[in-house]
């Protein structure tokens, strides 16, 4: 059987092909799955999708009409898939429930340190042989407070790094993580965490109840000189409200690896096109904001694990097995 894989990055392609070798043939496409590209999948029983695929009702109906019966998503998040429609259409859906939490946690810290120590501005200056230090003063992380919203595997990895810096740890989650408690983390309300933290990092999944977890009121509750990092999902932050706070001169720095309207932008080259998203365009103008293109997970270790799990999900489907990765079981 030949598998059709959408949204495969150039660095990812050799890993995908090697993982499927000896099991199934795989055809890798660099285009993302959406309403326009869904007809390409006609005749493929199994397809694989990336995190920025759009699997709404119309796309799923096109896939089902073309003969697709299984969707293997190469990510942990699945907020882009209408699972109710998939179940109605008899589509099996699986995801990658676990991969290296260190990839995302370490990148979140890279963003935090980059905005704190003005790394991008410093690099730009020195490339122009401007070696002044004006405007580059940062702050020690040691002794300050890190607030971790979401203390699962990635949040816990982020907290361990914060502990290594000698930071006070505050956590917020629906359940306390014993590993974080062992680090000395104190679980508090979201409002208290935002009010007391010098660094706030988001590590929660995007669901209806977490959408705009940091809305206008929550952002106003943060310290004026706080650092905000989001390497989870863009929809956790009300970006328009964030722009308003930045315009008011608030926050030492903001590091974003995700954006709530990133579909159709991230992973693509838009350098020669006008950006129609006024909110994103304005966000990019702030000197204390660093935006990257959803690359926190993008390490050899994490992508390797993602691809291997995707292959196992496909093999489980063909063998009629069910694992913890299955979101919608085979009918």
Query: In Å, what is the CA distance from 306 to each residue of 15, 16, 26, 51?
Result: 10, 9, 15, 12
Q: Which of 233, 245, 250, 312 is catalytic?
A: 233
Residue 278 CB partners (closer than 8 Å, separation 6+): none
Q: Which of 95, 118, 203, 294 is catalytic?
A: 294
Beta strand residue intervals within the chain, DSSP E: 2-5, 25-28, 46-49, 70-73, 92-94, 145-149, 168-172, 186-187, 199-202, 227-230, 253-256, 289-291, 326-328
**Can you name the residues that pair with 289 across neighbouring β-strands?**
254
On the 0-12 / 13-18 / 19+ scale of CB atoms within 10 A, 130 is exposed
For residue 262, indicate whether it is catalytic. yes
Query: In Å, what is the CA distance from 114 to each residue of 46, 171, 190, 227, 293?
Result: 41, 23, 25, 11, 15
119-127 vs 101-116: helix axis angle to the nearest 10? 60
Query: In Å, what is the CA distance from 99 to each residue of 48, 104, 154, 329?
Result: 17, 10, 10, 21
For residue 24, indicate whether it is catalytic. no
How does 213-227 read in b/e, with b if 16+ C-beta sit within 10 Å? bbeeebbeebbeebb
Give me the phi and psi of 82, to 5 degrees please: -85, 95
Rg (CA), the chain: 21
**Measured distance CA(60)–CA(35) in Å, rounded:** 9
Helix, strand, coil % (nearest 5) of the chain? Answer: 35, 15, 50
For residue 300, indicate whether it is catalytic. no
Residue 315 per-residue DSSP state: H
**Can you name the residues that pair with 137 across neighbouring β-strands?**
none
- Active-site residue numbers? 233, 262, 294
């Amino acid at each position: 059987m030949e598998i059709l894989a959408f949204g495969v990055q150039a660095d990812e392609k050799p890993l995908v092909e090697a993982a499927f070798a000896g099991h199934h043939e795989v055809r890798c496409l660099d285009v993302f799955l959406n309403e326009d590209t869904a007809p390409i999948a006609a005749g493929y029983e199994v397809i694989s999708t990336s995190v920025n695929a759009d699997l709404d009702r119309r796309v799923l109906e096109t896939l089902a009409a073309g003969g697709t019966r299984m969707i293997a998503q190469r990510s942990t998040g699945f907020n882009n898939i209408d699972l109710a429609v998939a179940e109605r259409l008899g589509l099996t859906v699986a995801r990658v429930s676990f991969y290296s939490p260190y990839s995302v946690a370490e990148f979140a810290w890279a963003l935090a340190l980059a905005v704190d120590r003005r790394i991008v501005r410093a690099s730009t200056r020195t490339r122009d042989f401007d070696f002044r230090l004006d405007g580059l003063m940062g702050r020690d992380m040691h002794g300050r407070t890190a607030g971790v919203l979401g203390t699962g595997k990635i949040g816990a990895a982020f907290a361990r790094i914060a502990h290594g810096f000698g930071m006070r740890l505050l956590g917020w989650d629906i359940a306390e993580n014993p590993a974080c408690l062992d680090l000395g983390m104190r679980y508090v309300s979201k409002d208290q965490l935002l009010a007391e933290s010098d660094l706030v990092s988001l590590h929660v999944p995007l669901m209806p109840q977490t959408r705009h977890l940091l809305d206008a009121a929550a952002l106003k509750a943060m310290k004026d000189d706080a650092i905000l990092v989001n390497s989870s999902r863009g929809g956790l932050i009300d970006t328009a409200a964030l722009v308003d706070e930045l315009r008011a001169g608030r926050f030492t720095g903001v590091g974003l690896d995700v954006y709530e309207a990133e579909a159709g932008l991230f992973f693509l080259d838009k350098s020669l096109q006008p950006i129609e998203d006024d909110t994103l365009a304005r966000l990019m103008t702030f000197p204390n904001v660093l935006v990257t293109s959803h690359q926190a997970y993008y390490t050899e270790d994490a992508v390797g694990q993602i691809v291997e799990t995707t292959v196992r999900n496909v093999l489980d489907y063909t063998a009629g097995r069910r694992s913890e990765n299955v979101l919608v079981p085979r009918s």
